[in-house]
Structure 1
Amino acid sequence: MAPRNHGRNSICAAPGNMAPLLLPADLMLEIIARTDLVTLIRCAAACKRLRRDILSQSFLRRVIRLQPRILSYLSIFGDPHWSIHRVTAAAKSFCDSHLSPLMLRRIGDLFPYYIPVTSSGGIIVFYRLQVERMRPQEMHHFDLCVYNPMTGDPTFLSKSHLVLTSGTYTHEYVLLTAADGIDYSFMLLIIYISMWSIKVHTITSSSGGWRTVTCASHCNSPWRSVGRYSDAAILHGGIVHWLVVVDHDTQILAYDVSTGMSGVVKLPPTNCNASQLHLATSPDGKRLKLLAIDGFMISVWVQLPTVLAAGSSGWALETVIDIEENLRSLYPSLRAGGGPDIQVQFKPSGKKSSDVVLLRVHGRGNVVLDLETKEVHMHYLCSILLEIDLQSHLQSMKVFS
């Protein structure tokens, strides 16, 4: 007798002439819920019906809430090595058994000649080093590689002529992804601030080449001396902010990738210099946050909505965090109160939201500070932060059927 058809509540896998194997959908989800992350992601790509069930709020609250993000520091010297923040067995297994082997298969031959320069939304940008003794057969034609570790897909790009013609002036790379509210899987910006203007070159996952947008300097006055600090903070919709120093005055410069317009955001009342400030965003990416460190005290400021900012500085002090005790757990010889020879500063990390920051303890080393748990961990040099939002990846991935 033929097996009974369970209809919509069943998932069928019957290749060739084999008898169909019918499982109730709820039983299939129970099996998936007990598997590892690699299997869950593969199941979500198997068919539209199964992905819809996996992406249901009830299933996500049950499974993904235990590991909604994978936050790790990637070192590519030798084999790829992942130092996972908030280590769980699932995250470690996923990185070791899936991400590292996939990366070695797809772009492992690039590691001797490429270094990571920025990352965002689970995507990494690699830049080709100029190695004098590199053999011709080892030279890669392209200068940049935008790589998605979740899919293993690399996109190779040539240099923008902005970099080739900028002379001794410095430039920086800013990476936007679909999580920032843009219509592409990625948008790479090369930002060059000269004395008279901001020049921005952009390239997207679907464009054929670099596009140039030039924005005049603000206040109708030239910038005689410009220095940049911290990572870019990107609000949802593609509005990039970063700290700049103009004639010894620290400011927040804003640039809208959709309009090409730039502007300035006033700082909150803090006496810290630029190296003691760090720009980030709220977890939802809708508001700016500014972190200021003075000694061992970190002040966290959040930007107010426009309607509330009228008549004020536009910022509200959210919290103040004392990190001295936690730092002393790593460096017992720290002097009480910091001492004149101890200074803690922020370092770029690639992290957009303000829940995790990278700090430099002068004369000691670098540490990762979790502002939610107040925990600190050693951070090793020559690595880059990779943050993968599993729910966002599952929602945007393609399905086979």
Structure 2
Amino acid sequence: MHLPPELLLEILELCDLATLIPCAAACRLFRCHILTPAFLQRRRAAARGSFTHSSLVGVFYRHCEREARPRPPLFTTIPPGPAAAVAESPFPLVPDVFRDYTPVESRDGLLVLRSIDYYAVKHAGLCVYDPVTGRRAFLPPPEVYDLSYALRRVGDDDDGSSWFRLTAVDLRMGPMIQAQSFSPADGSWGPVIEAPNPRLCRPVVRLSPVILSDVAHWLCGDNRSVLTFHLDTMQLGRIEIPGRQHWHTFWTGQEQQLLASSPDGELSMIFGDRLVISIWVLTPGAGWTQRKRVDMGRILPAMMEPGLPFRRHRQLYFEWFGERSGAVLAQVAGLGFFAVNLQTEEVCTVGERSRDIAAFRYCPYEVDHIARLEAMQSSGVAC
């Protein structure tokens, strides 16, 4: 059965943002309608001020040895509000990729997948995958011991020559830090670059870096500094965390600290003191300043089941921060797994009990759908 074009365009007006990108790539009629400035302006106006209406946030299941059974769904979306239901995956997931590979890193709507054989051999093949479009590139294993991946989206060229950049970094506590970058245009890894290790007394807290202006940042395990690595010049550096301003840095565990980025693209740190979240921002010339405090003890009681006792001495454990959505994923011991928008202070429940979520490993993921559509428009996609 064929629908008239007028009805099809009316259906497009009602589609969610996760559906629009595949539709824009489906046919010339849809692409012409979706990429018009008027259509994009309407969708951005409708998404302004919302939690995840313009950005899709969720978690991909990550394979690990001896995981609990049955396994969770491959992808679970984080709903835009407390009452929203978990949605079906909007992505054209490729079963054969996720049968042999597991997600280990994500950024800018892309995933780094690593062969499950990693658990049997030292080096394993990689795959850079775009879940929205289904685009993928298979990479041979790097020469360095790839503990951390710095992933960047650099374009959407039709010939596939330069749509991402990937740098594998070895952050082990040795005398040297090694890095190696992959060139999609050449289809091979570049030379191994070595730099003196700046005397890390403890390894980094999280292997997933925060990337700002082509500089990767990792929070060091000594709770006193941030390790920086320029992905183009391969230069190492350190940013000190002033102890007087962040006295609680020395008294909280590593899971109560999270490196992030501000909406203005500045380096930020998120601290958890029981159920209070504080956000500090590093401003050039002004140092670290506190920007915001979010009292989860004021928000969570309204979301709890009636009759369940609430205790303010519970502790937050941070998992991940979304650069585009402004959402932080955190566990509250005994209560559950939550997504908190640090700007609007909206909270939604991802898991009923933290121990249910902790039984599995996840790779957080987000993509700004309006930004992707506008990128398609500005890149001159033929209509």
Cα distance, 1:363 vs structure 2: 4.9
What is residue 233 of structure 1 aligned with on the other side?
210
**C-alpha displacement of 1:263:** 1.2
C-alpha contact (below 8 Å) 1:302/1:315 kept by paired residues: yes
The 1-side partners of 2:42 and 2:55 are apart by 14
Shift of 1:322: 0.7
Distance 1:111 1:232, change over 3 A: same
> CA distance change for structure 1 residues 323 and 44 in 2, over 3 Å: closer, same or farther?
same
1:296, distance to aligned residue in structure 2 (A): 1.2
1:396, CA displacement in angstroms?
Answer: 3.7
Match of 1:109 in 2: 96
Change in 2 beyond 3 A, CA 1:260/1:142: closer
TM-superposition CA deviations, 1:166-209 (whole Å, max 9, x none): xxxx8222322238xxx942222222123322211221433322
Counterpart Cα distance in 2 of 1:217 and 1:267: 19
Shift of 1:290: 0.9
What is the identity, as a one-letter code, of the residue corresponding to 1:197? M
> Quick one: structure 1 residues 174 and 223, their matched pair in 2 at CA, closer, same or farther if it must change by over 3 Å?
same
Task: Give 1:154's aligned amino acid.
Answer: R
Residue identity in the other structure for 2:288: W
Note the C-alpha offset of 1:35: 4.7
Question: Is the counterpart of residue 86 in structure 1 residue 80 in structure 2?
Answer: yes
User: For each residue in 1:331-378, what CA deviation from the matched residue of structure 2 results, as whole angstroms up to 9, or x when unmatched?
Assistant: 844423x0xxx432212x363357211223335543322222331413
Unaligned runs of 5+ in 2: 48-52, 63-70, 156-160, 352-356
2:350 paired residue among 364, 378, 385: 378
Normalized against structure 1, the TM-score is what? Answer: 0.71
Which residue of structure 2 lines up, in the alignment, with residue 358 of structure 1?
A: 329
Counterpart-to-counterpart distance in 2, 1:391 and 1:323:
30
Matched positions, count: 338
Deviations 1:229-259 (A, max 9, x none): 3742111x311111012xx353111111122
Please state if 1:59 is matched with 2:36.
Answer: no
- Asked if the contact 2:280/2:290 (under 8 Å) is kept, the reply is yes
What letter matches 1:344 in structure 2? L
Partner of 2:111: 124
Distance 1:378 1:330, change over 3 A: farther
Amino acid at match of 2:21: I
Which residue identity is paired with 2:203? V
AA aligned opposite 2:138? F
SS in 1 for 2:114: strand
- Verify the 8 A CA contact 1:143 1:159 in the aligned structure 2: yes
Match for 2:297 among 324, 332, 354?
Answer: 324
Q: Hey, what's the Cα distance between the residues in 2 that align with 1:153 and 1:91?
A: 28
Greater RCO between the two (CA within 8 Å, min separation 6)? 2
Q: Is the 8 A contact 2:227 2:236 kept in 1?
A: yes
Q: Return closer, same or farther for 1:78/1:241 CA change in 2, 3 Å cut-off.
A: closer
Instruction: Look up the match of 1:160.
Output: 142
- Give the whole-Å Cα distance in 1 for the aligned partners of 2:5 and 2:341: 46
1:47 to partner: Cα distance: 8.2
The answer on 1:190 being equivalent to 2:168 is: yes
Please report how far the alpha carbon of residue 262 of structure 1 lies from its aligned counterpart in structure 2 after TM superposition.
1.8
In structure 1, C-alpha distance between the alignment counterparts of 2:371 and 2:85, rounded to whole Å: 16
Runs of 5+ unmatched residues, structure 1: 1-20, 135-140, 164-169
CA distance in 2, matches of 1:198, 1:142: 20
Using the alignment, how far apart are the partners of 2:272 and 2:13 within structure 1?
A: 42
Match of 2:56 in 1: 70
CA distance change for structure 1 residues 173 and 41 in 2, over 3 Å: closer, same or farther?
closer
Task: Specify the alignment match of 1:16 in structure 2.
Answer: none
SS at match of 2:144: helix
Q: Which amino acid aligns with 1:266?
A: E
Call closer, same or farther: CA 1:243–1:208 in 2, change over 3 Å.
same
Give me the CA root mean square deviation: 3.8
The answer as to 2:259 corresponding to 1:259 is no
- 1:38, 1:29 → 2: CA distance? 16
In the TM superposition, residue 157 of structure 1 has moved relative to its aligned partner by 1.6
TM-score under structure 2 length normalisation: 0.74
Q: Percent identity?
A: 26
Residue 282 of structure 1 aligns with which residue?
262
Question: What is the deviation of 1:291?
Answer: 0.7
Which of 138, 141, 153 matches 1:177? 153
Counterpart code for 2:365 = L
Aligned-partner SS, 1:234: strand
Question: Which residue is 2:65 aligned to?
Answer: none
What CA distance in whole angstroms lies between the structure 1 residues aligned with 2:78 and 2:325? 18
Mapped partners of 1:295, 1:377: distance in 2: 18
- 1:187 maps to a residue whose letter is R
Q: In 1, Cα distance between the equivalents of 2:271 and 2:61?
A: 28
SS at match of 2:224: strand
